[in-house]
């Protein structure tokens, strides 16, 4: 077994374990929020959100999963030469996700600041 194949097996085992944990967390959240014991007197306050869960839970799980995978691949890149060319598309996707997320947050704050200025006049 070469060093490169051992690194790949460790990385993919780590990603697989993470995905298993995220699936279990997602099922637990589905049971608590989506299929929870809600009544007419005590309705789910998150019913209009994605999967009837608190806002940002699903997006956060996806972001953390991608971050974890990218970090594992970057650590494996230290041991394996030429790996970065093989996972270049994953790295570009991660960079685009981070840029879009923070860019949209900045634009949200700029728009709300402009709205506050126009209201205070």
Look up the pTM and report it.
0.66
| Contact by Cβ (8 Å): 69, 17 | no
Whole-number Å distance between alpha carbons of 109 and 54: 21
Whole-number Å distance between alpha carbons of 38 and 54: 15
Whole-number Å distance between alpha carbons of 38 and 24: 22
Distances (CA, A) of 83 to 1, 17, 28, 62: 18, 21, 35, 23
Q: Return the top range by mean pLDDT from 25-29, 45-49, 53-57.
A: 25-29
- What's the mean pLDDT in 8-32? 90
- What's the mean pLDDT in 14-36? 93
Taking residue 76's Cβ as centre, other Cβ atoms within 10 Å add up to 19
């Amino acid at each position: 077994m070469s060093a490169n194949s051992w690194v790949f097996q460790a990385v993919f085992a780590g990603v697989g374990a993470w995905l298993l944990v995220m699936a279990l967390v997602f099922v637990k959240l589905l049971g608590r929020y989506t299929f929870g014991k809600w009544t007419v007197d005590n309705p789910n306050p998150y019913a209009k959100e994605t999967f009837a869960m608190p806002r940002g839970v699903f997006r956060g799980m996806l972001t953390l999963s991608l971050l974890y995978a990218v970090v594992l691949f970057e650590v494996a890149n230290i041991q394996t030469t030429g790996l970065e060319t093989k996972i270049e598309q994953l790295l570009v996707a991660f960079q685009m996700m981070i840029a879009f997320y923070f860019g949209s947050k900045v634009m949200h704050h700029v728009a709300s600041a402009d709205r506050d200025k126009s209201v205070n006049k």
